Structure 1
Amino acid sequence: MDSKNMVLYGLAAIAGFFILRALYRGIRGRQMLQERLLKEYRQALNGIDRPIALAAGRAYFSFLRGNNELAQIDEQMIANDMKAMPQEKSQSLQEDSNDIISKLERLAKLKEQGVLNDAEFYEQKAKILSL
């Protein structure tokens, strides 16, 4: 084997190495992106922001399909996943407590004005607090 052929084989080996490395990095990069999208989707499902969870689910399933389109079954899976999401209880509890406070304040004003006697006041107060 002459030196010219050895150089050609060496260059071919080096080129093959770089081609294989690029393919590996492309495959690994795709795997890393898929893992990141799945992680973001799971985190969004643990939160209470439904639009963020929907967007993350669509991004993940669109990536899996590879064509940036979603099938009907993808939308159904996202909807099923979103059914298990925690509901927005903190905001509704705050609204309920604000409503109760405003009702109690109005009731106290009526008692101060003499519209309600003590028995009526306590009766109405019990009704408001029992809600």
Structure 2
Amino acid sequence: MTNPNDLYITYSGFANNDQIIDSYELIHSLITEFGGQASFRFLVDPTLPMIKGDRDFIIGVFKDFILKTISEFKQHLGIVNVVHIKDPKSWIFAFSIDQKSSANEKPSAPEIIDPIQEFNLAISKKALQNLSEVPSVIAYL
């Protein structure tokens, strides 16, 4: 299920500070760092791609995104899968509720709004060339 507020878009960084980053290793280390804050377990796909960008900027983006994921899925008690969606212009990471783990949860009262089932992070493969290109706000679309 998709919602209008479930895609987080940002840029990879600045061309002069770009490095190759192992996204699996980065996400796994951040999840370990935030251990115990989530009511669910993350299951990270070991085939996540190498990405290119400003390391400090990318770390900040993933930290912020993982914390938002923990907040968005706070009612979930099962597993949240982390996978990569192939796209020629962006690295897209999908954080989604494992429906098999949801079936084992206790049934709850019906909700007025549909719960978010997937939360995505898109990082543009095009590096920024200068500070004037930095968006003033990283937007949800």
**TM-score when scaled to structure 2?**
0.25
Give the structure with the higher percent helix. Answer: 1
CA radius of gyration, larger in: 1
Give the structure with the higher percent strand. Answer: 2
Flag the structure with more relative contact order, 1 or 2, with Cα contacts below 8 A and sequence separation at least 6: 2
